[in-house]
Structure 1
Amino acid sequence: MNWNRKNLKSQGKISFKKNYRRYVVICLILLFISGEFVGTYYSLTDTVTTTTDAEDEINRLPLNNSSGVIADFAEGVGTLEKTKDDTVKKFASYHPTRGVLAQFFNGVSATGNLTTGVLNTVNHMVFSSRIGEGIVILISTLLQLMWFLFVGQVLSVGGRRFALESRRYHDTNTERVFLMYHVKRVIKVGLSMLRHTVYLMLWMFTVIGGVIKFYSYYMVPFILAENPDINGKTAIKISRQMMKGYKWKLFILQFSFLGWNILNVLTFGLLGIFYLNPYRLATESEVYMALRRNYIDNNGAFSYLLKDVYLDIPIAQDDTYPADGFEIPSAPARKWLEIDFNRNYTLLHLILIFFIFSMVGWCWEVSLHLLQDGTFVNRGTMFGPWLPIYGSGTVLVLFLLKPFRNRHILTFFLATALCGIIEYSTSYFLERVHHMKWWDYSGYLLNLNGRVCLEGLLVFGLGCYAIIYIAAPIIDNLISKLPRKVLISIALILVCLFCLDSVYSRSHPNTGKGITDYQSQPQKKFYLQETRYS
């Protein structure tokens, strides 16, 4: 095989530029959901800081990406002393105190390692006798593991699938990142990637062996992207055979991106989002196809499993990958999921939907307070069983986001942003008018003035997504079955009661314990105590 690094990078650049916007979207999905490309932003400071009392300590940890591998090779030559970067120190000293994300964030940041963070979480739970919270942490850890395997890793393979197809088909849809879900290979691919991850973790204990195996197993996600029916053990064998004699060459190719990595850090990651990450992914897909051709030409032991001929045709006749080209057919859509979410909602139905979700929101918050503190609290500024912020948010996402309903990912992010604007402005208005707080996210991970936080916005974003595509259409169908006169009567009664409640609560808002006593409550600390590792 004639390995030409410049040609591989040139072909990769051509490939991603022809499908630029979709490549950016795919890489953003891989960045935020699968955790890929993260090391790119810290390649100049591959350090993890843990803080104990007044002392800050920088510890180097190998990262499972190209930047981390470069650092590993450098460590093999000699220990490189790192200066304490102010940004890293601020990051390390940041400790949110409330919420599930805060627990996970502090557990991992205190140890600098996901596995060690989980073990430290369990250790802290047992010796602190916090069994109730411990169960929640264990469940959260299990959910995180499930997310890692069957969402993060599966989408990572799906991203490779998109890259492989877009080499030849310049109108490849971003939906191809979800191909493993369409063909029902999520569990199989997740378990195959689990084997790949476990093998790498075990080899990392040998340091040098870990670096070698990192490159030896590098093509596993691409192999599974081509044929998800290949099991993990076989995929590893194929990758090892493909990479024989090319591990060092791949390292050199990745090292050639060092200048881009430096510029990426200087641009605070923006270069990575809009150029470097797509460039690297497209280049690596070219590497895989070159190694694949070499493997098939040399009659590799498992070359018969790499049989997707549509990935390597000289000139694509169509703009998209042929619908019947993939050997594994997509699973037929379930009938109960065939919901018309692009419908238009009438004013009468929107009024009723407003009250339904205002009441659902009230039940949600009352139930949470009842489970946490064991007492019933009438949440909200009003006295009726409704929280208008939930109803208003629902109506606004149904009305304002209608043009984007066919773009699911964009709809989710827009709904999350819209919920943040509604929640922040409502909190600001209430504090200005009544000089009291009806909610306070202080201590939560990435909160803004205690009015909104990342954890809450993600929950609201997912809730709005479910409302737009499932709940609202189903409720609209149920409402349509009732006589119009009955609907008008119900709407008029609810509007009258709501207006009376609004007038009264404007001058006599609902206040009291569990409602507006945030300023008098000490912040509860749920995060894990830090542990110093020498």
Structure 2
Amino acid sequence: MNRKMLKKNGKKHFKAHYWICVVACLLASLFGIEFVGSTDIVKAFTSDTSQTDITSVSPFVANTYSLIDNFMGEDKEKIKESATKLMDDEKNKDVTYGGLELGRKDGVLAHVVNMVSSGSMILTILVAIKNVAESSYFLAAILVVISLLLIILIWAIIFNTFSVAYRRIFMESRVYEKMPFQRFLFIYRDRKLFKIALTVGLKEVFQFLWNLTIVGGFIKRYSYALVPYIVAENKDISPLKAITLSRKMMKGHKWELFVLDISFIGWYILDFLTLGLLGIFFLNPYKESVVCEYYVNRREKCKSENLANIDLLNDTYLYEKASNEIIRNSYKDIIELMDTPEPVIHKRNKFLTFVANVFGVIPTYNQTEKEYTEFTERKIKIANFKDVINGYTYPTRLYPLGEKVRKPRFEHLHYMRRYSVTSLIMMFFIFCFMGWFWEVIFHFIEKGEFVNRGVMHGPWLPIYGSGCVMILVLLNKLRKNPIIEFISAVVLCGIVEYFTSVFLEYQYGKLWWDYSGYFLNINGRVCAEGLLVFGVGGIIVVYIVAPLLDNLLRKIPFKISITICVVLVLAFTADRIYSSKVPNSGKGVTDYSREIKLKPKSTKTSYNPTCNVTDLDSYIISKSAKL
């Protein structure tokens, strides 16, 4: 093995696909799959360095040893107290950089970060087990078991399997010039997802058991290191065969991978000095590319040595391009479609054409738009396979297991479409209601009480409807690039939420939401958790929900859809006028403890100079007062 050559090839392939590699590693870090050390710098600045026992190095390892005694000898109340204390210690580790807060007190993200970093997750699971064992209420025991299994299932399927998905990205990027965002969905295209989750989960169980021996855990880390790559090449391989194959491939070579790891020590020091930024934007994807090269190197050697079960790694075109003849035979139907003449589209006036092209908005869905839809569907279908036919992307039809063709009912679920005014109006109210329903249900689950969320009194939250429609209209030209679409959706929704918070606080002198204490929040108005939800939700809306809704709304006769829109707009306007004078408020709606930074609209001054208001807030408030 030539480490210098591995690093040279790894750097070359990583630079050729820089952004998708960075995003892949960043997602892996956020999911807690790999590169979690990128956020260790924050813990280093917030932890108590006076401690010298094992908890100051790894609370998770320390708690793993201590929980056994607690579980066997103590009651569940002591376990609960231990878990609560660990969580409280983590919650107090808030760090603020200007207006940006690395909050650890509230929110799902903060809760997950605290549970994982403190090791209280295992204690919580043990409490659940104790509850089942001791509960005299059968229904309560069933609910505890179901909830626990659901959490484990979601984690195993959504998060853990990503360790295979992002490795596939790096493996394909070695050979092919283009890497579509859709390749992240490689493991979700057939019914092998549960087998992948079982393989990754079983590997982690084995690793955990070996970790209890300390030395064995260090050795087995390298013994099992190739499992994700093996599964990324053959997602139908059985869990035990994948683990055994990795162990055999690494027999006598674990030291190589260890030395390759420590050869990055200089980069680790620079990563520390740059507060983890170097890791996010260079080191993590660079190292992953090098390790991917190592896997390819070991695979070739094992092939030449005819290692047992090495024939299970048979994805030929993951390492070399297919010939033109093989490609043309596999994609014959697409080539024939490319050779057929393009359909004719009737033209409309210049202004309507401009609005349709820039914002994707049309007056109504008529014959001209039907022609455009058919033309767009044909164009997208050709574009999806053009790069494959030219050899720029991986030929999915040549995958040994075969990737299933999309079902007919999704054939017309294309996102590069234009929406009629009536469709947008009705979708606005649908998303308003969905947002309202989401917040009401979430509050009910969290607090156990029904509360009508939002400023208005009706079953709608305009911020959700406005955000979704704005993403569809203002980001229309960005739909061809899902990554840019996602980033833009996060930024757009962040701006809308921040300014809406400022406006409501200025208008009414009350808070309808407060993210103080949430992980990565800005002045309590927006937070990373909410923006990620908005970003992911925006992607789902653009590529799945909106096209599906539009297909259904197009079936409604025009006169009926106009009537529905008029009724909804009148009801919404009446509610808005009434709510501007008597806003919906009270317990569960506006009862937030954070100090109000702005005085009500009736006061002469727009803000209180004695309060701790940031420069950005002051600027916004002063501009609002002038307006």
* Aligned mate of 1:284, from 291, 314, 320: 291
**Paired residue for 2:93?**
93
Q: Which residue of 2 aligns with 1:84?
A: none
Q: Distance in 2 between matches of 1:345 and 1:139?
A: 42
Distance in 2 (alpha carbons) for counterparts of 1:18 and 1:431? 47
**How far apart are the structure 2 equivalents of 1:447 and 1:124?**
35
Q: Which amino acid aligns with 2:14?
A: F
Residue equivalent to 2:394? 321
- 1:347 corresponds to 2:428: no
Compared with structure 1, are the counterparts of its residues 120 and 252 closer, same or farther at alpha carbon in structure 2 (3 Å cutoff)?
farther
Taking structure 1 as the reference length, the TM-score comes to 0.79
Q: Is the 8 A contact 2:29 2:38 kept in 1?
A: no
Q: Deviations over 1:137-196 (max 9, x none)?
A: 876654443344223332212222222222222324343333222243211121111221
Secondary structure at the counterpart of residue 419 of structure 2: coil
* Mapped contact 1:242–1:295 kept (Cα < 8 A): yes
Which one is further off, 406-415 or 344-353?
Answer: 406-415
Answer with 7-16 or 385-394: which moved more. 385-394
Please name the residue that 2:238 is paired with.
Answer: 231
For the pair 1:9 / 2:7, whether they are aligned, the reply is yes
Residue in 2 aligned with 1:214? 221
Match of 1:67 in 2: none
Structure 1 residue 378: deviation in Å? Answer: 4.2
Match of 1:201 in 2: 208
Matches within 5 A, 1:133-152: 142-152=149-159
Unpaired stretches in structure 1, ≥5 consecutive residues = 65-88, 522-534
User: Are 1:425 and 2:499 matched, yes or no?
Assistant: yes
Work out the percentage of aligned pairs sharing the same amino acid. Answer: 43
Indicate the SS of the match to 2:569: helix
TM-score, scaled to structure 2: 0.68
- Equivalent residue for 1:60? 57
1:185-200 residue pairs with structure 2 within 5 A?
Answer: 185-200=192-207
2:115 matched to 1:107? yes
Q: Which amino acid aligns with 1:449?
A: N
* 8 Å CA contact 1:351, 1:491 repeated in 2: yes
Taking the aligned partners of 1:221 and 1:385, their CA distance within structure 2 comes to 46
More deviation, 489-498/276-285: 489-498
Change (3 A) 1:46 1:432: closer
Q: Does the aligned pair in 1 maintain the 2:165–2:232 contact within 8 Å?
A: yes
2:561 maps to 1:487 = yes
The answer to whether residue 403 in structure 2 is matched with residue 330 in structure 1 is yes
**How far apart are residue 376 of structure 1 and its match?**
5.6
Aligned to 1:524: none
> For residues 140 and 502 of structure 2, what CA distance do their matches in structure 1 show?
32
Contact 1:107 1:121 in 2 (8 A): no
Preserved CA contact (<8 Å) 2:202 2:239: yes
| Code of the aligned partner of 1:16 | F
Match of 1:168, SS state, is coil
Q: Residue 99 of structure 1: CA displacement? A: 4.1
Supply the distance in 2 between the matched residues of 1:299 and 1:173 (Cα, whole angstroms).
34
| 8 Å CA contact 1:441, 1:452 repeated in 2 | yes
Of structures 1 and 2, the one scoring higher in RCO (CA 8 A, sep 6+) is 1
Equivalent position of 1:528 in the other structure? none
Alpha-carbon distance between aligned partners in 2 of 1:257 and 1:43, rounded to the nearest angstrom: 18
Aligned mate of 2:572, from 489, 498, 505: 498
- For these two proteins, the number of residue pairs brought into alignment is 492
Larger mean CA deviation between 497-506 and 345-354 belongs to 497-506
Instruction: State which drifts further: 301-310 or 244-253.
Output: 301-310
Distance 1:493 1:519 in 2: 38
Aligned residues of 1:44 and 1:262 also touching (Cα < 8 A): no
Q: Would you say the 8 A contact 2:396–2:403 is kept in 1?
A: no
Structure 2 letter corresponding to 1:229: D
Cα separation, 1, equivalents of 2:292 and 2:185: 18
Distance change (3 Å), C-alpha of 1:126 and 1:441 = farther
* 1:255-290 deviation line (CA, Å, top 9, x unaligned): 010100111121122212222112111111111121
**Cα deviation 1:326-362 (Å, max 9, x = unaligned):** 2011022123333133221122332232233333434
Which of the residues 519, 522, 532 maps onto 1:448?
522
Contact 2:237-2:312 within 8 A present in 1 as well = yes
For the Cα contact (< 8 Å) 2:92–2:105, is it kept in 1? no
CA spacing shift, 1:139–1:312, aligned 2, 3 Å: same
**Aligned residues of 2:60 and 2:118 also touching (Cα < 8 A):** no
SS at match of 2:56: strand
In structure 2, C-alpha distance between the alignment counterparts of 1:21 and 1:407, rounded to whole Å: 12
More displaced, 187-196 or 493-502? Answer: 493-502
Structural RMSD (CA): 3.9
- Which moves more between the two structures, 282-291 or 38-47? 38-47
**1:70-469 matches, cutoff 5 A:** 93-94=93-94, 96-111=104-119, 114-116=121-123, 118-119=125-126, 142-313=149-320, 318-338=391-411, 339-368=413-442, 377-469=451-543
Corresponding residue of 1:33: 31
Return the alpha-carbon distance in structure 2 between the equivalents of residues 373 and 220 of structure 1: 42
Note the residue ranges of structure 2 that are not aligned, 5 or more in a row. 62-88, 95-102, 325-390, 596-627
CA–CA distance in structure 1, aligned partners of residues 496 and 52 of structure 2? 39
Deviations 1:378-402 (A, max 9, x none): 4433344433222212211211222
Letter in 1 for 2:269: I
Distance 2:447 2:207 in 1: 45
Cα deviation, 1:285-332, whole Å, max 9, x if unaligned, reads 111121112212122122222223334449998433344432011022
In structure 2, relative to structure 1, the CA distance for the partners of 1:357 and 1:242 (3 Å cut) is closer
Partner of 1:82: none
Segment drifting more, 359-368 vs 395-404: 359-368
Residue 478 of structure 1 pairs with residue 485 of structure 2: no
Displacement after TM superposition at 1:429 (Å): 0.7
CA separation of 1:281/1:490 partners in 2, compared to 1, >3 Å: closer, same or farther? same
Q: Give 1:490's aligned amino acid.
A: I
